[in-house]
Structure 1
Amino acid sequence: MQLKLSASKFPISTILLIAPFFLWGTAMVAMKGVIPHTTPFFMAGVRLVPAGVLILIAATLSGRPQPSSWQAWLWIALFGLVDGTLFQGFLAEGLVRTSAGLGSVMIDSQPLAVALLSLWLFQERIGLWGWLGLGLGVTGISLIGLPDELIYGVLGTGAEVRLGNWQDLFASGEWLMLLAALSMAVGTVLIRFVTKYVDPVTATGWHMILGGLPLWGVSWVVESQQWENLVGAEWLALGYATLFGSAIAYGLFFYFASSGSLTSLSSLTFLTPVFALLFGHLLLSEVLSSLQWMGVFLTLVSIYLINQRDNLAGQNKQPILEETSATLKPLVTPLTVKLIESKSENLPEIYKKNMK
C-alpha cells in the first residue's frame, strides 16, 4: 500500500494528504518566533486545548458520534497522554533549545518507529525499498540535525571530534525532540485501536483537550509570565499554530491514520522539516550548511522510495491515494472541503452500530 502523490486524478486528496506536514512545518516556525516571549508548557496547552474544542465543534456540526463506552474513554485518555501531554510537552520544551528547522527534523525521525511498530502489530509489508527509504530518511535528518563538526569527525575528514560536541548534543533539545518523536509514533499507532470504539475525528478532539489540560496545570505550577509579554503578532502566530498547525493538521492526519498504510503515511512526515527549514530560512533567517542541504535531498528521496516501494519491487498494488479516494470520497463545495466519507465496511464500530 503506497501513497501516490502525483496522482492528478485526485488533486484534492493529494492536497489533504500533504497539508498536515506543511502546516506542522510552518507552525514550528511560528512557535519558534513566539517562544522567547512566553513559556513552553503554556504554549503547548494553547496549541492543544482550543484546537480540540474547535475539532469537537466541527465533529458535532457534521453529526459525528461522541464516545459512548468506558473502553472508548480509556483509549482516548491513553491517546491524550501519549500524543498530547508527552508529545507536545517534549516538543515545546525541546523547541526552547533548538532551531525551528532542526527541531522539526528531530521530531520527524518518527517514521522509522512507526514502521517498526506497524510491522510488529499490523504486519505491514516494508520490503527492501521501504527499508532503504527509511535508512536514507534517518541519514538525511542526521545530516540536518547533528553538528557539522561531529559528522566530519566521524567520517574522518580531519575535523576533530571533541568530547564537548557530544556533551553539547546531549545537553541540547535534540534529545527532547527525539522523545517527542517516539511519543508521536506511539500515538500514530494508537489511533488504530482508538477508532475501534470511537470516530477518529471526535477522538482527535477529545485527546487534544485531555492531553492539553495537564500541560496548563504544569504551567500554572512551574511557570510565570506566560502571556504578559506577548504582542498582537505573537498572538496571531499562536492562533495559526492552534488552528492550522493543530486543529486542521491533526484532524486530517489521524483521519488518514485510522485506515491505510501507517508506514506510507508516516513517511510523509519527512516533508515537515523541509517546510520548516524553508520557512525558518525565509522568516527567521536560519541558515543551512551544505551537509544540511544534502540531508534535505536525502529525505525527499526517502519519501519516494517508501511510497513507491511496491512499484519498485514489481508488485502492482493499488496506491493508497487511489484506494482512499475510492473509499474516502472528498466532497467539495464553493466554501468548504469536507473530510472524507468511508464505505460502510471501513467505518468504525460505533458508526456500524448507529447505522443499524
Structure 2
Amino acid sequence: MKSLPSPRRTELLAAGAATVTVLLWASAFVSIRSAGEAYAPGALALGRLLAGVLVLGVICLIRREGLPPRAAWPGIVVSGLLWFGLYMVVLNWGEQKVDAGTAALVVNVGPLIMALLAGWLLKEGLPPRLLAGMAVSFAGAAVVGLSMSGEGSASVLGVLLCLLAAVAYAGGVVAQKPALRHGSALQVTTFGCAIGAVACLPFAGQLVSDAADAPLSATLNMVYLGVFPTALAFTTWAFALARTTAGKMGATTYAVPALVVLMSWVALDEVPGWITLVGGLVCLAGVAVSRSRPRTAAAAEEVGPAAAAGPVAAAPETSPEPQREQA
C-alpha cells in the first residue's frame, strides 16, 4: 500500500507542470500577436530566445547543472533547431497573417503529428484510430485554410505557416523525449534554447533595428515571451515529459486553443470567424479520435493508480515506461 503514493505523486507533479505550460503557452499566442506589430518574425524569435537563454543560464549556474551528458546532445540539437528555432520563426510569421485564435487552432494539429512520429520513431505504435484522427484533423485544417481564402493569399499563407509550425513542434518534442533520459529538464531546455538562439543569429541586425523603433510595450512582450512561455514553460514541459510519454504530453495541449481565443478576445479584441472556428474544432476532433481507445482498454486502465491523475494520465498510452525514464 505504501508503494502507491510515489507513482501517484509523479503523475500529479507531471500534470501540474503540464498545466503551467499550457497556461503560459496560451498567453504566448497573444503576446506574439501583439509584439509582432513591431518586430519581424526572425527578430522576435531571436529576442525571445536570448531572454530565455539569459534566465535559464543564470538558473543553471545557481544550480550548478553543468553540461548535459553526451548521449543527450543529439536530441537537444534536433529539438533546438526544430522547436526553439524553426517553430518560433514560422509561428511568429504565421501570426502576422492570421489572428491568435486561428493560429492556436491550426498549431494544435501538432499533438496528432507528435503521436504519429512517436509511434514511428519511439515505437509507440500506429493504431487505426491514430490514422483516422490524422485524416480528420487535416480536413479541419483545410476548412480553416478555405475559410481564410476570401481574405487574401496572405491569410492562406498564415495557415500554411502555422501547419509548418505544428510539424516543427511535434518533431522537436519527439526528439526531446530521448534526450530527457540522459539530461535533466533544465539542461535539455537551456541548451535547446541556446541552439535555437544560435540558429536565429542571422536575424540579429534586424532585431537591433526593430528594437530601436519598437514601442516599450512590444519589447516588454518580447521579454515576457522569453522569460515565461520559453524559460519557465519549456522547463515545466520538459519536467513533465521526462515523467510520461510524448503522446500523453500532446494531449495536455488540447485546452490551448480555447484559452487563446478567450485571451485574444479580452486582450486583442480578436475572435476567429465561425467557419474558422468550425475548422479548428474539426482539427481538435481529429486529435480526440486519434487519442481515443476501445472501452476494454479504458476500463483496464481505470483500475490503476494513474486513473485519477488528471489530463496527462488520461491519454491512451498505458506503458510503464515513464517510471523507468524519470530524469
Q: Which of the five TM-score ranges fits, normalised by the shorter chain? A: 0.7 to 0.9
Match for 2:175 among 172, 178, 190?
Answer: 190
Match for 2:165 among 176, 180, 185?
Answer: 180
1:332 is matched with none
Q: Secondary structure at the match of 1:316?
A: helix
Decide whether aligned partners of structure 1 residues 149 and 93 sit closer, same or farther in structure 2, where only a CA change above 3 A counts: closer
- What whole-Å deviation, never above 9, does each CA across 1:236-258 have from its counterpart, x for those lacking one? 32232222211121112222223
- Separation of aligned partners in 2, 1:41 and 1:149: 24
- Separation of aligned partners in 2, 1:55 and 1:323: 34
Q: Secondary structure at the match of 2:36?
A: helix
Give the TM-score normalised by structure 1.
0.72
- Separation of aligned partners in 1, 2:63 and 2:303: 29
- Separation of aligned partners in 1, 2:100 and 2:37: 13
1:118 is matched with 118
2:147 is matched with 148
- Separation of aligned partners in 2, 1:33 and 1:166: 20
Q: For structure 1, which runs of at least 5 residues remain unmatched after alignment?
A: 1-6, 151-164, 329-341, 349-356
2:147 corresponds to which letter in structure 1?
A: D
Residue 179 of structure 2 corresponds to residue 231 of structure 1: no
Decide whether aligned partners of structure 1 residues 100 and 119 sit closer, same or farther in structure 2, where only a CA change above 3 A counts: same
- What whole-Å deviation, never above 9, does each CA across 1:201-225 have from its counterpart, x for those lacking one? 211111101211331x222355662
Larger-gyration structure (1/2): 1
1:121 corresponds to which letter in structure 2?
A: L
- Separation of aligned partners in 2, 1:141 and 1:122: 26
2:31 corresponds to which letter in structure 1?
A: A
Q: Secondary structure at the match of 1:172?
A: helix
1:156 is matched with none
Aligned 8 A contact 2:52 2:230 in 1: yes
1:78 is matched with 78
1:219 is matched with 203
Decide whether aligned partners of structure 1 residues 14 and 302 sit closer, same or farther in structure 2, where only a CA change above 3 A counts: farther
2:105 is matched with 105
Decide whether aligned partners of structure 1 residues 169 and 236 sit closer, same or farther in structure 2, where only a CA change above 3 A counts: closer
The alpha-carbon deviation at position 304 of structure 1 amounts to 5.5
Give the TM-score normalised by structure 2.
0.78
2:232 is matched with 248
The alpha-carbon deviation at position 263 of structure 1 amounts to 1.8
1:346 is matched with 325
- Separation of aligned partners in 1, 2:100 and 2:219: 18
**Alignment size in residue pairs:** 308
- Separation of aligned partners in 2, 1:84 and 1:75: 12
2:145 corresponds to which letter in structure 1?
A: L
Q: Percent identity?
A: 18
Decide whether aligned partners of structure 1 residues 304 and 79 sit closer, same or farther in structure 2, where only a CA change above 3 A counts: closer
Q: For structure 2, which runs of at least 5 residues remain unmatched after alignment?
A: 1-7, 313-321
- What whole-Å deviation, never above 9, does each CA across 1:91-135 have from its counterpart, x for those lacking one? 222222222122222222212221111111223246455555555
2:91 is matched with 91
- Separation of aligned partners in 2, 1:65 and 1:169: 45
- Separation of aligned partners in 1, 2:294 and 2:17: 23
